[in-house]
Each structure stands twice: as structure tokens, then as C-alpha cells.
Amino acid sequence: MRSQRNGLTQQSAAPLWLRLLRHNLPLVIFLILALIGMGTVYLFFGSDGEADLTTAVTNNAPFLDPAASGEPAKPVLQRLTQSSTPIRIGIIAGHQGFDSGAVCADGLTEATVNADLAERLAANLQARGIRAEVLDEFDSRLTGYSATALISIHADSCQYVNELATGYKISSSAAAQSNRLESCMESAYGAATGLTYHANTITLDMTNYHAFYEVSSETPAIIIEVGFMYLDRDLLTTHTDPVVIGLIDGVTCFLESNG
């Protein structure tokens, strides 16, 4: 009993911090090891490590910014269905519902040629998921007509003038983007048909075309005379695929440039 009392007395005489240390020795050892570990990590991944990380990110910058790679960016085509407003293409079949237009000696009429091309253009656009509608020359729907584009299809004289009376011509309204529509149609139609642009025979009937003043002022509009019914007759009546393709390509060019 005496020895036990002595032992208790000696323990009580020990400093408080030493007694706490003895009771929490495992925790103290853990903290020491943790500090050593943190110091090692800091020394290993200190300033040099940060520099290496920065270098790595910089070296891989092309993956973050395509422009930094020096390679041209791949073009991204805007889908027509993503347009802010529904696409609507109006197609006037020249003279339809009004008169015959130019008439050939054998009875072929301009109105017939125009209607065939207008219907085929509309059908092809519709097959591509684009809303397209054929309108008469003086269609009641033209008043205030609002559309992505309006195209009036006509053909030129069926009388022989000279060997230069071949080709096509276009005139546009004053509406915004009409010039772009005209430019697209001019280049696409010429490329598809091989016809020359016949600018010197554009008349006041084209530049002051009545529909330009009837439709909405925001509707881009053009009138195109697709060829002369004398020298270009075969292209306009028999082998018409290039004509239709040229019209489609002109519309598509405009829609893509307007996307």
C-alpha cells in the first residue's frame, strides 16, 4: 500500500503537460507525422511544381482554344430549322392567273414556262423541308406579304432578235437583303445553266416590278427572267434540270448567308 501511494504521489507531482502528453501520445505522434507529410508535399510541389503545371497547361492550350493551334477552324453550318423565324419562300409564276405573257408562233406561252419552273422549284424546296408556295402574278396574298424571300419567275421574248438574245437577267427590290438574294441567284443560276448575264436588257418593268411595292417592305424580293424563249427554248422547256438547280442553288445560297 505504501509503494502504491508513492507511485501515485510521483505521478501527481509530474507536470500537467507531461501527463497530458502521456495520455495523448498516439494523437501527438499522428500530428507529427501529418506535419512531416505536409512539409514533404509542399517541398515537392512547391514553386517548381507550379511552373511545371503552368507549362503543361500552356503547351496544351490548342486543345482549349482552336485558334491557337494554327489550324483553320472547321466551318459550322447553321441548320435552317434553327432560324429565328420560320423560313417561307414565295414564288410568283409570272403572268399566271392574269395573261399568257410572251407567246411563241407554235402557241407556247411564257405563262406555261413560268408555271412549270415555279412548281418544280417549290416542290424541290418543300422536299428539303422548306415552306414554299407558288403565287399568281397579281395574287391577293401579295399585299403585305411577309416571307424570307420572294422570287418572281419570268421568261423573255419568243421572237428572234439576234444571236445575242440569250441569257438571263435579275432585278431586286429596295428591301434589305434583296441585293444579297440577287447576288446569290445571279452567281448560282449562271453556274448551273451556263447562260450569260444579260444586264443590258433589264427593263423598267423589272426594276419597277409591281410586287416589289405590294409585299412587306422587309421581304427581300427579286424578279428573274430565266432565259429567252427563242434561243434558250430547249433549256427552258425540255432540258430544264439546270434551270431548276440554278434556282434552288440561288435560294440555298441566300438562306445559308442569312443564317
Which amino acid is present at 137? E
What is the C-alpha radius of gyration for the chain, rounded to an integer number of angstroms? Answer: 40
Q: How confident is the model at residue 29 (pLDDT cuts 50, 70, 90)?
A: confident
Q: What domains lie within the chain, and their CATH numbers?
A: 2-69 (no CATH), 87-257 (3.40.630.40)
Q: Is the pLDDT of residue 56 over 80?
A: no
Give the model's confidence band at 24: pLDDT under 50 very low, under 70 low, under 90 confident, else very high: low
pLDDT digits (tens, 9 = 90+) for 34-51: 677 676 656 655 544 444
Please state, for a pLDDT cut of 70, what percent of the chain lies above it.
Answer: 69
pLDDT at residue number 15 = 64
As a whole number, the mean pLDDT across the chain is 81
Which three three-digit cell numbers place residue 196? 450569260
Query: Is 185:222 a contact under the CB 8 Å cutoff?
Result: yes
Angstrom distance (rounded) from CA 149 to CA 132: 10
Whether 162 and 173 have beta carbons less than 8 Å apart is answered as no
Q: What is the mean pLDDT of residues 140-161?
A: 97
User: How distant, in Å, are the alpha carbons of 110, 142, 172, 246 from that of 210?
Assistant: 18, 10, 12, 24
Per-residue pLDDT at 135 exceeds 70: yes
pLDDT top residue among 6 and 75: 6
Q: pTM for this one? A: 0.68
Structure confidence at residue 22 as a pLDDT band (50, 70, 90):
low
Distances (CA, A) of 63 to 58, 68, 257: 10, 8, 29
User: pLDDT category, 258, cuts 50, 70, 90?
Assistant: confident
pLDDT tier for residue 4 given thresholds of 50, 70 and 90: very low
pLDDT tens profile 101-122: 999 999 999 999 999 999 999 9
Instruction: Supply the DSSP symbol for 190.
Output: H
Overall average pLDDT of the 181-197 stretch? 98
Q: Which of 9-18, 100-109, 215-224 has the lowest mean pLDDT?
A: 9-18
CA 216 – CA 141 distance, rounded (Å): 11
CA distance 29 to 47: 29
Pairwise CA distance, residues 114 & 101, whole Å? 10
